[in-house]
Structure 1
Amino acid sequence: MGTARTNGGVQSVRRAAAVLSTLAESQSPLSAAEVARRTNLNRTIVYRLLRTLESDGLVRGDGGRFSLGEMHLRFGQSYLEGLGFYRSTLAYAVLLSTRFVGDRPWVVSLGVPVVDEIMLVDRHWSNQAPLDIILDIGVRLPIAGSALGRSILALRPEADVRRLIGDDHYEQIADRLAEVRGSRVSFADGEVQAGVCAVASPICDASGEPVAAIAVSGTDLRPHLDPCSEVAQRVRRAAEDLGREVRSRVS
């Protein structure tokens, strides 16, 4: 008997991917019944998948409830290293933080795109930065609703962006993306956190594909939300330096 395929893919792999995605999106462990309900899969199939994934370290079971396993830490680290820039970001982020941010109450953040979200993978802050504006590593932001995300969307093909966020949403932010495309700087004013503004710029690989973005955020940045501001220019230069580092590693 051959392996079942659906829409050009292997059915069991698609089901396992759906289970893992559901666990990743949950804020707490789920039972097999809850996973089955959220994935619209048969409960018995889900239970077997969970136990198989658990045996390989991809899922952790505890008292009949399941969450992602420790193997995903290895996958995540390998993915970041595969982007070619992750180890280099520390020096640039620290440089931006110490030489420019200094004692200003700002945070320097690095994010990478994960489907329709931006995940924070690094951040540095001054001693003056309010603790409530320092987001945790691993926090996911809407790709179209954040400065980090829009800086990346602006450099992607329009057709790809429309498929990702939908035509209606694209039309709402099309003008903003065009501005980012020209200046290589994106802004946000209170979208992610009330009262917090952000200035972001995309980091591109050797093919020109935006693979990440770097941002400075703070509660007193509103006067700097202009492509010609010193903050915008510093963030853009940091992103350009990181892009050159990425390209040098693959040349």
Structure 2
Amino acid sequence: MQSKDFVASLEHGLAVMEAFDATHPRMTLSEVAARTGLTRAAARRYLLTLAKLGYADYDGKHFRPALRVMRLGYSLLSTSPLPLMAQSILDELARETGEVTSLAVLDEREVVFLARSQSQRVLMPTIGVGTRLPVHSSASGRAILSQKSDAEVQLLLGHLPIAAWTPKTELDPRAILRHVQRARRLGYAISEEELELGVTGLSIPVPSLRERHRIALTVSTSVFRMGTEEMIERFLPPLRDGRDLLAPML
């Protein structure tokens, strides 16, 4: 039984906003209704209200989140102590490796970038703070999942829309589980060109005693600069140093 203070209409409005993701950046009214379980009439009211308030764009057929939505995410990120604590560690890691470094956190079925280094190298330029990536094919996602049991990982994968970002994206849940198991065994995760061709990510989980956060540190580089084995040899030690500095803060 819901509390009398619970506002169901707000819940439905937020569900409509959350229906949009990397694999569903723009949708028709019918598609939104199907993803949220709302009737077409209800979905239409929420979508048109969001469009009226500036949180959604509508071209007469498709809806998509408007830039104003970013205000909500940036308000949270700007007041959260975690990105602030991690930024100096990421910057030092970027200076030591010469590559792009990032901090990501698990948010239900996706990972969200909370902080990113200001490296001179530009990889995946569309990815910045607040970007959401699939947990199954990103190095950070696999590193975070390695902190969960096989049963928890299988349950999560069973509810995921496993989509291909590149021809090399692993789509078989059993193979994805093996990647996670390998990450648990070795202490690090790899994603080779599964999010963008030519880019490999190396990531390690950062433990939290209170389990307030499920986060990972990642270094990304071009496959044209170095192979995976060299990447592991060169970047795993500084990643571990960064993890050891960040973990006591969580």
Task: Indicate conservation of the 8 Å contact 2:140/2:218, yes or no.
Answer: yes
1:73 aligns with 2:79: no
Q: CA deviation at 1:93?
A: 0.7
Q: CA RMSD in A?
A: 3.6
Change (3 A) 1:221 1:200: farther
Counterparts of 1:44 and 1:177, CA distance in 2: 42
User: TM-score, structure 2 length as denominator?
Assistant: 0.73
1:116 match: 109
Counterparts of 2:202 and 2:215, CA distance in 1: 14
Q: Deviations over 1:123-164 (max 9, x none)?
A: 22543x2x4544421433221212111100000233321111
Matched to 2:93, the amino acid is L
Change (3 A) 1:209 1:151: farther
Change (3 A) 1:162 1:37: closer
1:94 aligns with 2:91: yes
Counterparts of 2:29 and 2:231, CA distance in 1: 47
Q: CA deviation at 1:232?
A: 0.8
Matched to 1:27, the amino acid is P
Change (3 A) 1:66 1:196: closer
1:217 paired residue among 210, 217, 220: 220
User: TM-score, structure 1 length as denominator?
Assistant: 0.72
1:183 aligns with 2:174: no
Counterparts of 1:68 and 1:204, CA distance in 2: 35
Counterparts of 2:67 and 2:126, CA distance in 1: 23
1:245 match: 249
1:22 match: 19
Task: Indicate conservation of the 8 Å contact 1:187/1:225, yes or no.
Answer: no
2:151 match: 159
Task: Indicate conservation of the 8 Å contact 2:123/2:199, yes or no.
Answer: no
Change (3 A) 1:237 1:135: farther
Which segment is superposed worse, 164-173 or 63-72? Answer: 63-72
Change (3 A) 1:143 1:123: same
Q: Paired residues, what number?
A: 231
1:192 match: 195
Structure number, greater radius of gyration: 1
1:235 match: 239
2:164 match: none
Task: Give the alignment of 1:126-141 within 5 angstroms.
Answer: 126-127=119-120, 129=121, 131-137=122-128, 138-141=130-133
1:41 aligns with 2:45: no
Q: Deviations over 1:152-202 (max 9, x none)?
A: 000023332111112995532344323322432212222222222221111
Task: Give the alignment of 1:162-173 within 5 angstroms.
Answer: 162-166=154-158, 169-173=172-176
Counterparts of 1:205 and 1:81, CA distance in 2: 20
Q: Matched residue of 1:191: which SS?
A: coil
Task: Give the alignment of 1:140-151 within 5 angstroms.
Answer: 140-151=132-143
Counterparts of 1:81 and 1:203, CA distance in 2: 21
Counterparts of 1:175 and 1:66, CA distance in 2: 35
Q: Matched residue of 2:201: which SS?
A: strand
Q: Deviations over 1:205-244 (max 9, x none)?
A: 2324652211111123423254xx2311111221221111
